[in-house]
Amino acid sequence: MAQVDDVSGELLGEFIQRLEKLGACNVQIVSTVTKKGRPGHIIYIDVPNELESDVAYLLVSELGTWGYRVLEAEHKHFNIKHINITLIVVVGGGRYEFDLRLKTISHADQMRVKAEHDDLSSICRVLREKRQYVPLAVLKAQVESRLMDLNTTDASMEVCLGV
């Protein structure tokens, strides 16, 4: 955990990208108000111990922090599987096929399936190029509601959008 009070959003965005490339498991930045009413941020970085010195380097070189805290916590991970399917989108009289990455997250007898945001965003962009305007929120809702019924061994899924 580190605190900063004089860093722009653009620098924080670059910092997050560098952490992701380095191997950080998770990064959270929380906006705060510091002494004298200055805006600030608390940065939580979930990183394997062997990368601590690399993260410390980024904290100093990119953000100019004065130090950081190591918080001891036990992270409980759920069972996560990655699946690739073909998504068939039927919209405006057209039928379009896309590759879509999914994650299944499970614990005990509970499971959730999530579609990868970047894939859904890319699908919407391609559909817009074909003059088929499908809001990202609509596509996500349609796909993820259907995913709960999907057998995870299925290789494809079709959604019909009345746009």
Q: Which residues, at least 6 apart from 8, have a Cβ–Cβ distance to it below 8 Å? A: none
Average pLDDT, the chain: 88
How large is the average pLDDT for residues 11-38?
91
Residues 85 and 146 both lie in one domain: yes
Is residue 149 scored above 70 in pLDDT? no
Is residue 157 scored above 80 in pLDDT? no
Q: Are 58 and 22 in contact (CB under 8 A)?
A: yes
Q: What percent of the chain has pLDDT above 90? A: 52
Asked whether residue 68 is domain-assigned, the answer is no
Among 14, 32, 63, the domain-final residue is 63
Residues 86 and 136 both lie in one domain: yes
Amino acid 93: pLDDT? 87
Residues 85 and 153 both lie in one domain: yes
- 30 sits in the region (left: phi over 0; alpha: psi -120 to 50; else beta) called beta
Asked whether residue 70 is domain-assigned, the answer is no
Q: How far is CA 102 from CA 86, 117, 135, in A?
A: 10, 9, 19
Amino acid 106: pLDDT? 87
Amino acid 145: pLDDT? 85
3-state SS class at 158: strand
Buried b (16+ CB within 10 A) or exposed e, 46-81: ebeeebeeebeebbeebbebeebeeeeeeeeeeeee
Q: Number of structural domains, the chain?
A: 2
- What is the distance between the alpha carbons of residues 31 and 21, in angstroms, rounded to a whole number? 23
Amino acid 162: pLDDT? 67
Asked whether residue 154 is domain-assigned, the answer is yes
- What is the distance between the alpha carbons of residues 98 and 122, in angstroms, rounded to a whole number? 9
Amino acid 150: pLDDT? 60
Here the CATH number for the domain that contains residue 154 is: 3.10.20
Q: Are 28 and 44 in contact (CB under 8 A)?
A: yes
User: For the segment 72-118, what is each residue's pLDDT rounded down to a tens digit?
Assistant: 877 788 888 898 999 999 998 899 999 999 998 888 888 888 999 99
Is residue 153 scored above 60 in pLDDT? no
Range of the domain at 144: 79-161
